[in-house]
Structure 1
Amino acid sequence: MLAMFMAAIEATIVATAMPAIVSELGDFSLYSWVFSSYLLMNAVTVLIYGKLSDLFGRKPVLTVGIIIFLIGSLLCGLATTMEWLIIARFVQGFGAGAVLPIASTIVGDIYTKEERAKIQGFLSSVWGISAIMGPALGGLLVEYVSWRFVFWLNIPLGILTIIGLYLFLHENIEKRKPQIDYVGAVLLTMSITTFMFILVEGGIRFEWLSMPILLLGAFTILCLIAFVLYERKLEEPMMPFELWSERSILIANLTSHTTGIILIGLSTFLPTFVQGVMEEKPIVAGLTLTTMSIGWPIAAMISGRTILTIGFRTTSILGGISLLCGSVIFILLSGTNSPLFAATGSFLIGVGMGLTTTAFIVSIQSTVEWRKRGVATATNMFMRNVGSTIGAALLGGILNSRLLNYLSSKGASEDLNLESTTTLLDVSQRGNLTEEARTLLQNGLEFALHDVFWIVFGFALLSFILILFLPKKDKALG
């Protein structure tokens, strides 16, 4: 639970602090890379850590992951440029890949199938605690101390987690000869990285049909094909595709991918809307995200019970409906609305995530045996992380290009560009803008973010459609 808390509070605090970070370090065009770099390494390493935990046990692998995460957190807090921060986030993400999947897998190991649904929901309550503390604490640190402590807060939490692991977790490991899929990891990293670059820089630095974009697109496809072909040959692959032959696992993984895009869309860009368009303080922006993280654990605990009563599929459908309702609110959001309206949408998205993710994890862990449980759990989280990684890049690219198009269409001067948005997001510097420039930037930001929210709605609709294809009777849960 402490490991989960560390990862959960990281998600809410950083999103709250980002407008302050980008206003100090500059380079608004690199905004989405701060999230994408972390998510990329998280997504790629989650499968490796899942496999390693099946080979060497949960405790040593989780400990190594936490140590790397803490080193990355220290470097993030020391950053003086956006480039430095992005590199430090790569390091942090490299360690973070171990935290959530292995913490969830440990629960799968130490509890019975009947207890698992209830305990997974209970474990998710950690998100509620971090949700209340994270944005409020993040807002306070940004306003009264420094955004750097947002990252350094992880260090005492990580040390406590490691001490707790070695005092209380005792496991019997079935020794096997390790076969670690390094080639698969490299191929997957290259394919996702180049695809992210296309999404972020396409239409901004390079035209969509330019030679660099076309060559990178071809390279992405080649790496992905090579990854699939290579994985099918291995006895101990990083991505065990035979797991996907189970229909419930296939749908759960695909839906986790689409919900990952929804999750990052709101976590990354809602604080920007609240601070830049609504002109609210960082702590208020944080509180609009808090409701999502409150709705998540409440729904997760309910999901743990409803899975055993109304079934896995019905629980997931209710979650899909909640995701749709929440995304509709963000389409209707405007600068004149109260932050409470945004908070309501966040809460509904959180409820949808809580109902679906708990149901998926419990079903997957009940379907596979112990020696595949780590990688099966990691595969589902990998799909959600890849969704978030691609989503951060895709939505960041859309935000940048739509904002530039808006400013161009309104005949804005050359002084007003993406970097001007950093001034808008900084409360202390906002007064330096003329009334005309501020209005133009706010309208442009609102226009661009509405396009982002429409994409979020599209993925919520796709998630709901995918959920309808879940089998009516789950093998694992009956």
Structure 2
Amino acid sequence: MFLKTYDGLLSLATSMETLILFRAIQGLGAGGVLPLALTMIGELYSIEKRAKMQGLISSVWGLSSVIGPLIGGLLVDQISWEWVFFINLIPGILAIIFVWFAWIEDKNISKKKVALDVPGVVLLTVGVLSLLLGLNGLENSSSLFFIITAIILLSVLIIIEKRAQDPILPLKLFGNRLFLVAFLHGILAGWAMFGSLSYIPLFVQAVIGTSATQAGLSLTPMSIMWTLTSIVGGRLIIKINFRVLAIIGMVLLVIGSLLLTTIGLGTSQLALMIYTSIMGIGMGLTIPVFMIIIQTTVPRNVLGTATSTIQFSRNIGGTIGVSVLGVFLSSRLSRLLIESGFNISTISLSSLINQTQGTDATFSEPLRIALSTSMANMFYIALGAAVLGFIVILFTPKGVITQLNSSLSEKKLEIVKTKELSS
């Protein structure tokens, strides 16, 4: 929690390097808080209540996603970008106060000392960072070096984790079919969803021609639909085959991604809201489903690790999606601008967005056409990830979550009885 107060440092960043450094510190706080909250639900609640609570937690995230872009866009338009980060100090400090006074620790719970898997942490961090650097600079000659480095480091990680006493990434979890499906789904769904959403405000500002506040507003319906379907999905999973829910959710994500490939100069902000809302409904149905399934099937001693790993898969998928889509957008846009006779050295995305300030007060038609065409082509990559995600979830076994929980309890009871007979 205390690391979240470092958000204020982002407002003091004077260069891209310091901004990245402060974002890394910010990530340390978020990386500890989010998985912990989700893990606590798995520990505290029964399967029936857990399903409802996971939906509620997802709805809280959805509500924040509605408020955040609106406030952020308003601050950028009316004050300055620094306030987007500085204002985060307020909820961060309030959260610290709330946890400090409301948290009641059970002194009777036995605590097991766990050795920190330092080699695993280092290899995973540097390996993933190398992968992102490689994907983010695919047009540079150094990208191949980073990608090869990532492959080597992650391969060594697998070897190290097999021998580690308390591995940061227990490989035995991937022997669980449901966990493997959830992990791959997290990467691909995160790629499709978050990769796409990151560029919607750019289209709204630069092609449709709106303010930052209105651009943030364009994602509000998606967040609302995600929130509502998370609550509904958390309740339906108790009664309906969870495989059916996952399939319906991914079908909607594919449909929304497909619709994004059709955008152009004539696309309205309302149309974008509808497209992204369809994607939001899909994610709202699938995300709680897989989290609840994992927390029901994995052993309790790895509940926290399993929960954080699934959360990590979505985050890394989204990060990879943003990087790959961004590289494609830059390459495609540059090519189209050159074909239209523009000098790309004098054009930047900030100049495309800025319609009310600076020298570029009005867009020429070729610029808008080039950007809209590039983004429509870019969304095919997100569509491909969504289709692969749909294929992956077809391997999800059929069943109702309560039946799955009962079958696991029976297996545990059989093991106990076998041990008693042996003794």
Task: Tell me the distance in 1 between the aligned counterparts of 2:124 and 2:53.
Answer: 33
Match of 2:254 in 1: 324
TM-score by length of 2: 0.90
Q: 1:81 to 1:166 in 2, by over 3 A?
A: same
- The residue that corresponds to 1:176 in the other structure is 112
The answer to whether 1:196 aligns with 2:126 is: no
TM-fit CA distance, 1:430: 6.1
Other-structure match for 2:211: 281
Gaps of 5+ in 2: 408-423
CA contact 1:320–1:460 (8 Å) conserved in 2: yes
Within the candidate set 447, 460, 464, 2:390 is matched to 464
> Contact 2:10 / 2:22 at 8 angstroms: preserved in 1?
yes
Paired residue secondary structure (1:408): helix
Q: Specify whether residues 386 and 131 from structure 1 end up closer, same or farther in structure 2 by C-alpha distance, changes over 3 A only.
A: closer
Q: Please state how far the C-alpha of 1:99 moved relative to its aligned partner.
A: 2.1
Q: What is the match of residue 432 of structure 1?
A: 360
Query: How many angstroms apart in 1 are the aligned matches of 2:216 and 2:362?
Result: 27
Contact 1:326 1:349 in 2 (8 A): yes
Task: Please report how far the alpha carbon of residue 403 of structure 1 lies from its aligned counterpart in structure 2 after TM superposition.
Answer: 1.4
Relative distance call for 1:430 and 1:467 in structure 2 (3 A) is farther
What does residue 455 of structure 1 align with?
Answer: 381
Aligned with residue 113 of structure 1, among 40, 44, 47: 47
Aligned partner (choices 133, 150, 154) of residue 88 of structure 2: 154
Pick closer, same or farther for the CA change 1:168–1:433 going to 2, 3 Å: closer
Tell me how far 1:415 sits from its aligned partner: 4.5
Give 2:196's aligned residue: 266
Quick one: which amino acid aligns to residue 34 of structure 2? Answer: L
Structure 1 residues 132 and 385 mapped into 2: Cα distance closer, same or farther (>3 Å)? Answer: closer
Distance 2:86 2:113 in 1: 38
Secondary structure in 1 aligned to 2:357? helix
Give the one of 208, 229, 244 matched to 1:314.
244
Tell me by how many angstroms 1:148 deviates. 1.6
Q: Is 2:57 the partner of 1:123?
A: yes
- Residue 47 (structure 1) aligns with: none
Whether the 8 Å CA contact 2:161–2:168 is kept in 1: the answer is yes
1:93 is matched with which residue?
Answer: 27
Provide the aligned length of Structure 1 versus Structure 2: 402
- Equivalent of residue 351 in structure 2, options 415, 423, 428: 423
Is 2:266 aligned against 1:336? yes
Residue by residue over 1:287-311, the C-alpha shift from the partner in whole angstroms, topping out at 9 and shown as x without a partner, is: 1211221111111111111111112
8 Å Cα contact 1:287-1:343 kept in structure 2: no
Distance 2:241 2:36 in 1: 26
The one-letter code matched in structure 1 to 2:309 is T
Counterpart for residue 391 of structure 1: 321
Compute the displacement of 1:258 (Å): 0.5
- Identity, in percent, stands at 37
For residue 431 of structure 1, report the CA deviation from its aligned partner.
5.3
Q: Distance in 2 between matches of 1:430 and 1:333?
A: 28
Listed one character per residue, the Cα deviations across residues 224-258 of structure 1 (whole Å, up to 9, x for unaligned) are 11011111111210001111211111101110110
**What does residue 69 of structure 1 align with?**
4
Is the contact between residue 253 and residue 380 of structure 1 (CA under 8 Å) also seen in structure 2?
yes
* Equivalent in the alignment of 1:230: 160
Contact 2:181 2:392 in 1 (8 A): yes
Partners of 2:405 and 2:179 lie apart in 1 by 11
> What displacement does 1:371 show?
2.5
- Would the aligned equivalents of 1:363 and 1:477 in 2 still touch at CA under 8 Å? no
Q: Is the 8 A contact 2:355 2:361 kept in 1?
A: no
Q: Secondary structure at the match of 1:214?
A: helix
Residue 297 of structure 1 aligns to a residue in which SS?
A: helix
Q: Which residue is equivalent to 2:280?
A: 350
Please give the alpha-carbon distance, in whole angstroms, between the structure 1 residues aligned to 2:204 and 2:228.
25
Partner of 1:37: none
